[in-house]
């Protein structure tokens, strides 16, 4: 049975009162809380998201690289996978990823469901196979029961696994940022300095790529429009989107939501701070050098984009066997 849940953000309720009035139409839209979800799939997907047994080592989960306590990422330049392999690219945040036009930096997955199966079978990430992951799940009695309850099927397949994970990830939106409250009419939600940063963000051209609800994630752009990007990492050789050499460094524009939490920045994690990221983006994409005051104003604006982080009870993962463990004597 599908359960529908319609949620209305508290700030939207406030905005209907006489004390607030919507700002004039802006190129950025407020984040909306999740509108419709299948609660049973969400609860199952939450377990799978945190379960390291989907990996070959039994050590790596989705949350390892997309840590929900760390802005939905791992705060590493490039992520560490199976056998401590260093990956070639920075892990994008999972927060608000349902708003992306496609998934992964190169957009090779059309949606969250298509993306969820990738890391499980990637030899440099979780390093399992879909067959192995399903065999593990089918060996866990509680999972067998829960999958049957949720999907009304006798056999677990990777299709149900990725569907459940994707449904959980749809809930990972972050509404109610201070900037959103300003958009909804609360003139005191951001400071004069932060508003100057937003005006500069618009007038200098950042808004051309970073717009909409996610403030990014809705187009592919080449990194290094005015000046070529000088990469210093294994990601230097990546040809994004089409695989053609002409499209090297062409990536999905990252969301700027919660950006103060998702350092280091860029596809290769080469920018350690927002100050450095703003400076490089101005130089490479806009042909503009922001002075220290302008840079600080833009950074101040970017910090207003941190919304309410996902809050939920951590899942208790089912035991690998239905046998009751026997107490061990003290050594």
Assigned token pair, 204: 């200098």
C-alpha to C-alpha distance for 277 and 303, rounded to whole angstroms: 13
DSSP labels, 163-226: HHHHHHHTT------HHHHHHTT-TTSS-HHHHHHHHHHHHTTGGGTS-BTTTSSS-EEES-SS
Of 299, 72, 314, nearest to 169 by C-alpha is: 72
What is the sign, positive or negative, of the torsion defined by CA atoms of 289, 291, 292, 297?
A: negative
Residue whose tokens read 């403030």:
215
Catalytic residue among 125, 213, 270, 279: 125
Residue whose tokens read 């000088």:
230
DSSP labels, 74-111: --SSS-B-GGGPBPSSPPPP-TTGGGSSSBSTT--BSS
Query: What dihedral angle (degrees, nearest 10) is formed by the CA atoms of 280, 282, 288, 293?
Result: -90
Q: Is 233 helix (H, G, I), strand (E, B) or coil?
A: coil
Residues 6+ apart with CB under 8 A from 228: none
Of 10, 11, 30, 12, nearest to 215 by C-alpha is: 30
Judge whether 276 counts as a catalytic residue. Answer: no
Q: How many CB atoms are located within 10 Å of the residue 319 CB? A: 12
Q: How many residues does the chain have?
A: 331
C-alpha to C-alpha distance for 226 and 317, rounded to whole angstroms: 50
Question: Which active-site residues does the annotation give?
Answer: 125
């Amino acid at each position: 049975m599908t359960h529908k849940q319609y949620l209305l953000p508290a700030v939207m309720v406030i905005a209907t009162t006489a004390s607030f009035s919507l700002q004039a139409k802006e190129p950025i839209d407020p984040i909306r809380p999740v509108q419709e979800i299948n609660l049973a799939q969400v609860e199952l997907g939450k377990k799978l998201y945190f379960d390291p047994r989907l990996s070959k080592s039994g050590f790596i989960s989705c949350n390892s690289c997309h840590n929900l306590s760390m802005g939905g990422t791992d705060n590493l330049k490039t992520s560490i996978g199976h056998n401590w392999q260093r990956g070639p690219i920075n892990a994008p945040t999972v927060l608000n990823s349902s708003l992306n036009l496609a998934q992964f930096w190169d957009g090779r997955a059309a949606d969250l469901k298509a993306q969820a199966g990738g890391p499980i079978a990637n030899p440099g990430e979780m390093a399992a196979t879909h067959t192995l992951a399903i065999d593990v799940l089918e060996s866990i009695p509680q999972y067998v029961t829960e999958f049957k309850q949720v999907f009304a099927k006798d056999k677990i397949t990777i299709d149900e696994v990725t569907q459940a994970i994707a449904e959980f990830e749809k809930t990972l939106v972050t509404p109610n940022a201070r900037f959103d409250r300003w958009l909804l009419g609360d003139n005191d939600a951001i400071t004069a300095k932060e508003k100057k940063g937003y005006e500069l963000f618009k007038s200098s051209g950042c808004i051309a790529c970073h717009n909409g609800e996610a403030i990014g994630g809705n187009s592919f752009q080449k990194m290094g429009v005015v000046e070529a990007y000088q990469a210093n990492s294994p990601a230097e050789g990546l040809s994004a989107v089409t695989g053609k050499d002409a499209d090297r460094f062409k990536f999905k524009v990252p969301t700027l939501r919660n950006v103060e939490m998702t350092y280091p920045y860029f596809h290769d994690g080469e920018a350690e701070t927002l100050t450095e990221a703003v400076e490089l983006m101005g130089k490479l994409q806009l042909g503009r050098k922001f002075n220290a005051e302008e840079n600080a104003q833009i950074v101040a604006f970017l910090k207003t984009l941190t919304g309410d982080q996902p809050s939920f009870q951590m899942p208790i993962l089912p035991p690998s066997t239905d046998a009751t463990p026997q107490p061990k004597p003290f050594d």
